[in-house]
Every structure is written in structure tokens, then in C-alpha cells.
Amino acid sequence: MRLETIPLILGGLFGLMGLVLLADAVIRDGSFAPTERRQRARAQRNLWGEAILGFGILAVAAALIGRDVWRYTTVAMLAALVLCVLGLALNWRYVASMLAGRPSGRVTETSSRSSKPTAE
């Protein structure tokens, strides 16, 4: 494999991720998988922010595929930076709850102790 093909492969992967984010923003929730039942309500995601983030990742893919010979690589990377920051800012509550929040399916130590019957 030649070294010049690595940016093309990475650009293809970034392009696929950007298209998946765009599709997730456009397709209605619950159309492929049933709605999940959680004990705590998760923070709602901003669909516009998710679509903007998808466009930012697509701009990164375009810059990677264009490599050094494309004259708009710098413009694409600057646009990607602005779009990704804006998309993350619009979805900040959702991202923060996913990173810092405890998954509701996991049992904690205090809840497992209280649910066990005591042997007398």
C-alpha cells in the first residue's frame, strides 16, 4: 500500500461518518429501533446541531480526499472547524450527559445492597 492512499481511506471513513450523522439527523426517531425505556430521561439532542456537525465532518473528509493538490483545502478545514464547534455547542447538553452521566442500565453499589434480602 502506498503512503498516498492513507488520506483517501481516512477521507472515505470521515465521509461515511458525516453521512451517518446527517442521516441520523434527518430520519425520524424510532423508525428503525423502538424507543428506549430509561429510568432517567436523557438530554434531548438538537437535530440542527447534529446536521451541522455532520457537514463539518464531511468538510474534513473533502479536505483529506483533496490532499495538497486541491486549492480549497484550507477553506474546507476552516469551515470544518467552525461547523464542528457550532454543532457541538448546539448539542452540548447531550454530549455532556453522554460523557459524564451514569448509564441507567448499570446497577450501583448502593442500589444493589438495598435490594438484597438480609439473612437473619
Q: What is the pLDDT of residue 58?
A: 96
Q: Is 60 exceeded by the pLDDT of residue 106?
A: no
What residue ranges do the domains of the chain occupy? 3-33+42-115
Q: How far does the chain reach from its first CA to its final CA, in angstroms?
A: 69
Q: Say if CB 47 and CB 29 are below 8 A apart.
A: no
Q: Say if CB 52 and CB 25 are below 8 A apart.
A: no
pLDDT single digits (tens) 17-72: 999 999 988 887 766 666 666 666 677 888 899 999 999 999 999 999 998 888 99
Q: What is the pLDDT of residue 39?
A: 63
C-alpha distances in angstroms, 1 versus 4, 9, 20, 69, 96? 8, 11, 27, 20, 39
- pLDDT band of 104, cuts 50, 70, 90: very low
